[in-house]
Amino acid sequence: MLDFIQQVIGGVALGCVYGLIALGFVLIYKATEVVNFAQGEIMMLGAFLSFTFIATLGLNYWLAFLLCVICMAILGSLMERLVVRPILGYPQFSIVMATIGLGLVIRSLVGIIWGTDDLRIETPFTNGVVKLGGLVIAEDSLSIIVATALLCALLYAFFRFTRVGIAMQATSQNMLAAYYMGIPVKRMFSLIWSLSAIVACCAGILLAPITFIHANLGFLGIKAFPAAVLGGFGSIPGALAGGITIGIVESLSGFYLPEGFKDVAAYVVLLAVLLWRPQGLFGSNAMKKV
């Protein structure tokens, strides 16, 4: 039983990371109907930046965290400005290809700048454990869960109560009407990309201590994608729920099932859920008839 709980907690922590990356997908998709396939690479870039700030420059963890977030916010809106905006209005396919290209560019840039070795960072949580009865929980895992909860609360408050947050919702619900209200729609798109890059960056920094930082970290985006679909693409709570579900499934199947099942478990769950609820766990019922 203790093993089970231990695995579930580990799964939740990993799932939070998937959930945050999925959240990045969903934010951009909801606002602009673009699926950003570079989300995983953006997460990776956040992790590498944290390595530079923490390990290379030796900055304080919290300061480094803040600097990473600021850098990624700027990079996110730059990516929107340089890669997506010029082709906005062209077929979806072109934009999807552009984001895949963006992901490849980031991956090779990371290889050029940071090399291809596995890197590590030390955080205030490294090697720390919390004992709860018989349970032993790594502080790294706990920090991921707590930080994800905090980040979600912040995002919720931002979208619910601030003028810009509501305007982002308005833009995603009816772009034409947003134009008529004097909402600077294009600036909203940049902001959404910033926000999504910030979320991805947090995921990257949180993940860095429990795995190595390396140039293939971006492939995690491929795992976060089923998380977003599972939640019902376009639903923010769904993205998190989807991420956590996949994290738990992976963790449990890695522990109880023979070698190899871990990597496909997420997709098996995804297929099963989609057969039962094609709109995803939190998706709306709106269905296109044709």
Partner 1 sequence: MSAQPILRLANVESRYGPITAIRGISLDLMPGQIVTVLGANGAGKTSILKTISGVLDPLTGTIEFEGQKIQSMEPDKIVRLGISHVPEGREVFPFLSVRDNLRMGAYIQKDKKKIASDIEKMFDYFPVLRERQDQIAGQLSGGQQQMLAISRALMARPKVLLLDEPSLGLSPLLVKEIFTIIRRLNAEEGVAILLVEQNARMALETAHYGYVLEVGRVVMHDSCANLIQSDQIQEFYLGHGQAHAK
Q: How many CB atoms lie within 10 A of CB 30?
A: 18
Written as six digits, the tokens of 164 are: 């810009």
Burial 256-266 (b: 16+ CB within 10 A, else e): eeeeeebeebb
Q: Which is nearer to partner 1, 131 or 163 (CB)?
A: 163
- What string marks each residue from 184 to 223 as x (binds partner 1 by CB under 8 A) or -? xx--------------------------------------
For residue 27, the one-letter residue type is L
For partner 1, the binding residue among 131, 163, 288, 289 (CB under 8 A) is 163
Contact 10, 140 (CB under 8 A): no
Q: How far apart are CA 101 and CA 107, in angstroms?
A: 10
Among 13, 183, 203, 213, binds partner 1 (CB under 8 A): 183
Interatomic CA distance for residues 38 and 21, integer angstroms: 10
Neighbouring CB atoms inside 10 A of 137's CB total: 18
From 47-55, 76-84, 136-144, 180-188, give the range in contact with partner 1 by CB under 8 A: 180-188
Say if CB 151 and CB 17 are below 8 A apart: no
- Which of these segments, 50-58, 138-146, 165-173, 250-258, binds partner 1 (CB under 8 A)? 165-173
Q: Smallest distance, Å, CB 179 to partner 1? A: 4
Instruction: Answer yes or no whether residue 62 interacts with partner 1 by CB under 8 A.
Output: no
Q: Does the footprint of partner 1 cover residue 169 (CB under 8 A)?
A: yes
| Choices 65-73, 179-187, 200-208, 264-272 (CB under 8 A): range interacting with partner 1 | 179-187
Q: Is 88 in the site for partner 1 (CB under 8 A)?
A: no
Among positions 89, 180, 287, 290, the unique one binding partner 1 when judged by CB under 8 A: 180
Tell me the C-alpha distance between 17 and 25, whole Å.
13
Read off the DSSP letter of residue 217.
Answer: G
Q: Which of 85, 170, 262, 279 binds partner 1 (CB under 8 A)?
A: 170
Residue type, 228: A
Give kind and range of the element (H or E) at residue 132: strand 129-132
Residue 95 CB, shortest distance to partner 1, in Å, is 20
CB of residue 60 to partner 1, shortest distance in Å: 37
**Interface with partner 1: number of residues (CB under 8 A):** 17
Cβ distance 221 to 41 under 8 Å? yes
Q: How far apart are CA 219 and CA 107, in angstroms?
A: 10
Is residue 131 within the footprint of partner 1 (CB under 8 A)?
no
97 is a contact residue toward partner 1 (CB under 8 A): no
What is the rounded radius of gyration, in angstroms, for the C-alpha atoms of the chain? Answer: 19
Interface with partner 1 (CB under 8 A), residue from 62, 90, 156, 179: 179
Residues that bind partner 1 (CB under 8 A): 163, 166-167, 169-170, 173-174, 176-185
